[in-house]
A = this chain, B = another copy of it.
Amino acid sequence: MNKVQPSIENALAGIKDGMTLMIGGFGLCGIPENAIKELVKMGVRELTCISNNAGVDNYGLGLLLQQQQIKKMISSYVGENDAFERQMLSGELEVDLIPQGSLAERCRAGGAGIPAFFTPAGFGTEVAEGKEVRIFNGKPHILEEALTADFAIVKAWKGDTEGNLVYKATAMNFNPMMAMAGKITIAEVEELVPAGTLDPNFIHTPGIFVQRIFQGAVFEKRIEQRTVRTR
């Protein structure tokens, strides 16, 4: 049983048309950029993608949108993508918008065997339509169900041969919960190290949640909003 994949093709083997994928990242920060490019190459279609955002026009999940490989997006914010807008307005693309905290918690719940939970987020809005409402501590909450995926594809800073992962700074974001919620979880890492290299006290994603791991070839790490101050 070796989690380390000899190639990116091996790492993504088995992803098929019509599947549900979770893709880590917030904006272009912490996305599995090599795996996304490989999905374009594979040409898998009719995908349901669970991802906080939808990339930008020419990067991240935007690349899959350009090729019309995505049937449905489940996200909290999708504002940086023209292809997205066109496909949504034309009805080609289904979109399920979810409050960001509910999205994160629904992924965690999916990985943690919690089928549903109550949250105040979205009560009284269209997000609550069709959902059970219950009062706790005098305050209305709505019932939200867990999310899972056929494959979760996450991106980490370092990973070891046991599948243990650590993330850097805010590139962590949705990756840990999605790693939990994939039936098969694929980790793309900047640096693959032998078991025993990472300090067991400081593992963000224990290897039990990761079935396959590979070192990405190139990390462009594009910046969406470069903001600086003058010296």
Contact = CB atoms under 8 A, between A and B. Distances in A.
Given A166-B201, A202-B202, A120 B113 contact: yes
A84 interface: no
By DSSP majority rule, is chain A's interface helix, strand, loop, or mixed? Answer: mixed
A167 B201 CA distance: 8
B114 A117 contact: yes
A105 interface: yes
A114 to B, nearest CB: 5
Contacts of A167: 201
B116 A115 contact: no
Work out how many copies of this chain go into the complex: 2
A222 to B, nearest CB: 21
Contact of A137 (B115, B119, B137): B115
A109 interface: yes
A168 interface: yes
Nearest to A199: B202
A77 interface: no
A138 to B, nearest CB: 11
Contacts of A200: 169
- Most chain B CB atoms below 10 A, which of A115, A119, A141: A115
Contacts of A109: 117
Interface in A46-79: none
Contact of A136 (B116, B137, B168): B116
A123 interface: no
A114 B105 CA distance: 10
